Amino acid sequence: MAEFFAQIKSRLQHTKKRIVFPEALDDRILCAASKLSEENILTPVLLGNKKKINEKARELDVDIASCDVIDPANYDLFDTMVDAFVERRKGKVTKDQALSMLMDGNYFGTMLVYLHKADGLVSGAVHSTTETVRPALQIIKTKSGINKTSGLFMMIRGEETYVFADCAINIAPSSEDLAEIAGASAETARIFGIDPRVAMLSFSTKGSAKSEETKKVTNALQLAKEANPDILIDGEFQFDAAFVPSVAAKKAPASPIKGDANVFIFPNLDAGNIGYKIAQRLGGFEAVGPILQGLNRPVNDLSRGCNKEDVYKLAIITAAQAE
């Protein structure tokens, strides 16, 4: 884990990305922001009343002098932001509605990212996933060719690093969704220095069982290969056939993945959520995420049960995505 983040931090010190924190009065956020700015990894942008934020920092005995504090209620470019928001929503909100909505930290922060006043956003310590993600979908929107955002976890144990997706967003993805998730997850893996070897997971390996569920995965495999000819993607695999070389040799001897997959695409949210938590709780892996992917610019959602170290790590991940 330490080596994984050390490599990312060494890159970020040369770019000094600006990451927005809409929940600046939360103890965990302020402590993480102080550490990030002290290590000169990125510039935290704290949203809220400056007096209250500074008082809270003194109370916690943390230094936020190198952070940028912005009060939405006293922002010089607020009128410009309102006009840009109305234009972006294409008639779905009035100017009066925009004035009200942009007093919400998540909407204001997302607009800072959209207007290139910041490079990414981290929220969710206080707000729900919906409150964090909805502004991103409305304002930043998904990349060209991506219809849905998805969420992955970096699973880290010692020098081992794997990608699990989708473990956070899409409950019952279609074949088309799974193909998108596979391509996006491979792209995310590359951001973090992983040469992706993508396994499409199922309860079947190479036709050992046939059902509508396995057909969905095999269809997704073909779509993913067509859309990403430069990425090694194969399936359908049971997990052991994708991960254990001796099992792969027996169950999928002709596959280019020889039990050495490092990006695992789960067929639905049940499997993904259960899978990452088993690896975390029984396997001793640290689960970093969920990391949202597919958006034009990075926005990431914390768990409301997070600690300051979770905030610190997800901010680093978000800055790396912004590169």
Would you call the peptide bond into 236 cis, given omega within 30 degrees of 0 as the criterion?
A: yes
- Model confidence at 171: pLDDT above 90: yes
- Model confidence at 197: pLDDT above 70: yes
- What string of DSSP letters covers 6-25? HHHHHHHTTT--EEEES-TT
Tens of pLDDT, residue by residue over 72-90, are 999 999 999 999 999 999 9
Residue of 249 and 193 predicted with greater confidence: 249
- Model confidence at 103: pLDDT above 90: yes
Task: Tell me the average pLDDT of the chain.
Answer: 92
- Give pLDDT, residue 58: 94
Under the banding of pLDDT at 50, 70 and 90, the label for residue 2 is: low
- Give pLDDT, residue 150: 93
Report the residue count for the chain. 323
- Give pLDDT, residue 1: 57
Q: How far is CA 300 from CA 20, 63, 122, 130, in A?
A: 10, 24, 5, 12
**What's the average model confidence in pLDDT over 148-154?**
92
**What are the boundaries of each domain within the chain?**
2-141+296-322, 150-286
- Model confidence at 13: pLDDT above 80: no
Under the banding of pLDDT at 50, 70 and 90, the label for residue 204 is: very high
Q: Do domains 2-141+296-322 and 150-286 have the same CATH topology?
A: yes
Span 2-141+296-322: which CATH code? Answer: 3.40.50.10950
Under the banding of pLDDT at 50, 70 and 90, the label for residue 116 is: very high
- Give pLDDT, residue 10: 77
Assess contact for 64 and 33: CB atoms under 8 A: yes
- What is the architecture, at CATH level 2, of domain 150-286? 3-Layer(aba) Sandwich (3.40)
Under the banding of pLDDT at 50, 70 and 90, the label for residue 207 is: confident
**What's the average model confidence in pLDDT over 237-262?**
96
